[in-house]
Amino acid sequence: MDAISVIRTKRDRGELTPEQIDWVIDAYTRGEVADEQMSALAMAILLNGMNRAEIARWTAAMIASGERMDFSSLSRPTADKHSTGGVGDKITLPLAPLVAACGAAVPQLSGRGLGHTGGTLDKLESIPGWRALLSNEEMLHVLDTTGAVICAAGDGLAPADKKLYALRDVTGTVEAIPLIASSIMSKKIAEGTGSLVLDVKVGSGAFMKNIDDARELASTMVGLGTDHGVKTVALLTDMSTPLGLTAGNALEVRESVEVLAGGGPADVVELTIALAREMLDAAGVKDADPAKALADGSAMDVWRRMIAAQGGDPDATLPVAREQHVVTAPESGVLTRLDAYDVGVAAWRLGAGRARKEDPVQAGAGVELHAKPGDTVTAGQPLMTLHTDTPEKFDYALKSLEGSWDIAAAGTSFTPKPIVLDRIA
């Protein structure tokens, strides 16, 4: 085997053999295939695609590059969820304890934010004392004793993907659907969950801007899960408007706790319950009612135990940014559009996100919304509040919000988009 022949095969729109795929993933992980060679192959895949057999074998090779976790010792079935990322997407925080309260175990390996999309670990790290890094033994203990764990993936899980993702990020090949799908699914399959629900975001604030691309990605990932023996379902969900009323780390934790307490924004509650029902069904847990578990406090009980088990204080005061700036409505009428991407970029520029993986984040930074599409607003009414510790960032954040909303005449009818756009199984 040699890298040049593998590159030429895909460059000329050929099908990579299983042997070629196994060799190139292993050789790249070991350093035998150079970054520039893997860059050329990734670009050829972006331009020419892969069929289902190629993607399945590519995913299997990435899984084989590291360890596989095993939750067979648990007394209840496992179910996990993965979101492709959005703005205000704090759903994992209330969802994991909710599903655990209903009888399934939730081993949730999550990531950090990059660019305009927030990261679950960054949000939880705004809770004093909470730890994202757990050993496999610690992860299994928290899962066994509380029913849910949210933590970082260890270095031993699909190391080929970690190396390849960093390369794709700087070579313009992140958008290749075969590589997106195999990246997500190699980690989730190696994680060892028995079932998986995918939340594939669609819209301006998502990586998939149109529903056809999102449907292709979702179908590819569902196929990969099925091929590897993991019961997998995908929901396509709207990300044209931010989820909930907050985008930022501590801001989103606070809103998640409101949901667990039986309140919170209607769209966050709706999507949390929809995903919980899918996870419980995939895990084979019958006769459980997620809405009831939110209302009776049992999901909140699991949340508190889960946070404490990872060193956090569920009663601690969350960080608050030192400076705020209020953005007001320029006119009266009906808010008909609020762009998720623009709000996400504003939160990122305020310090809630990072441009590079090494950058720090501000726990209290972000955007708090006071109106959503469909709401009637009056001139001078607050539309949103910007939060940051570094007020010199306000002007930079405000530039991203120019043209990010539309206000129609009072009395204009407005029909909101549904949260769940499609289901693929």
The DSSP 8-state label assigned to residue 348 in this structure reads I
Q: How confident is the model at residue 378 (pLDDT cuts 50, 70, 90)?
A: very high
Q: Is residue 356 very low, low, confident or very high in pLDDT (cuts 50, 70, 90)?
A: confident
The catalytic position among 112, 168, 215, 387 is 168
The backbone torsions φ and ψ at residue 333, rounded to the nearest 5 degrees and listed phi first, read 150, -155
Read off the pLDDT of each residue in 284-305 and give the average, rounded to a whole number: 96
pLDDT digits (tens, 9 = 90+) for 249-291: 999 999 999 999 999 999 999 999 999 999 999 999 999 999 9
Note the pLDDT tens digit of each residue in 217-239. 999 999 999 988 999 999 999 99
Give pLDDT, residue 116.
83
Q: What is the pLDDT of residues 60-82, one digit of tens each?
A: 999 999 999 999 899 999 999 99
Interacting residues of 37 by C-beta distance below 8 A, sequence separation 6+: 3, 4, 7
Number of neighbouring beta carbons within 10 Å of residue 168: 23
Set 161, 227, 267, 342: catalytic member: 161
Residues 256 and 120: their CA atoms lie apart, in Å, by: 12
Is 8 in the active site?
no
Report pLDDT for 26: 97
The C-alpha angle with vertex 31 and arms to 175 and 15, in degrees rounded to 5, equals: 50
Q: Do domains 3-49 and 323-408 have the same CATH topology?
A: no
Residue 183 among the catalytic residues: yes
Find all residues with CB under 8 Å of 2, minimum gap 6, and list them.
none
Relative to beta strand 195-202, strand 80-83 is parallel
Options 57, 81, 82, 116, the catalytic residue: 82
The Cα–Cα gap between 62 and 25 comes to: 7
> Angle 229-230-233 (CA atoms, 0-180°, nearest 5)?
130
Integer CA distances (angstroms), 217 to 160, 171, 178, 262, 338, in order: 21, 20, 8, 33, 26
**DSSP reduced 3-state for 93:** helix
Strand pairing of 80-83 and 231-238?
Answer: unpaired
The pLDDT of residue 360 is 87
- Using one digit for the tens of pLDDT, what is the confidence trace for 92-142? 999 999 999 999 999 999 888 777 888 899 999 999 999 999 999 999 999
Instruction: Measure the CA–CA gap between 271 and 198, rounded to whole angstroms.
Output: 12
Q: Which helix (H) or strand (E) holds 328?
A: strand 323-328
The terminus-to-terminus CA distance of the chain in angstroms comes to: 37
As assigned by CATH, the class of the 3-49 domain is: mainly alpha
Tokens encoding 222? 């569902």
Active-site residue, 168 included: yes
Q: In CATH, what number does 323-408 get?
A: 3.90.1170.30
Q: Would you state the pLDDT for residue 414?
A: 94
The set of residues, in sequence order, having a beta carbon less than 8 Å from that of 127 and lying 6+ positions away, is 253, 307, 312, 313, 314, 316, 318
Q: What is the pLDDT of residues 133-173, one digit of tens each?
A: 999 999 999 999 999 999 998 888 899 998 998 898 788 88
Mean pLDDT throughout 172-201?
93
Task: Look at residue 11 in the predicted model and tell me its pLDDT.
Answer: 97
CA distance 191 to 208: 25
Q: Is 161 a catalytic residue?
A: yes
Q: What's the pLDDT at 239?
A: 97
Of residues 65, 110, 182, 183, which has the active-site annotation? 183
Residue 336 has pLDDT above 90, yes or no: yes
pLDDT mean over 317-325: 98
- 80-154+190-309: CATH class: alpha beta
pLDDT band at 54 (very low <50, low <70, confident <90, very high): very high
Q: Which two tokens stand for residue 174?
A: 């992140």
- Cβ-based burial of 280 (10 A; exposed 0-12, middle 13-18, buried ≥19): buried
Q: Is 425 exposed, middle or buried (0-12, 13-18, 19+ CB in 10 A)?
A: middle
Catalytic residue, from 57, 81, 112, 187: name it: 187
Q: Where are the domains of the chain?
A: 3-49, 80-154+190-309, 323-408
* pTM over cut 0.85: yes
The conformation of residue 105, written as its DSSP 8-state character, comes to: B
pLDDT band at 185 (very low <50, low <70, confident <90, very high): very high
Mean pLDDT (the chain, rounded): 95
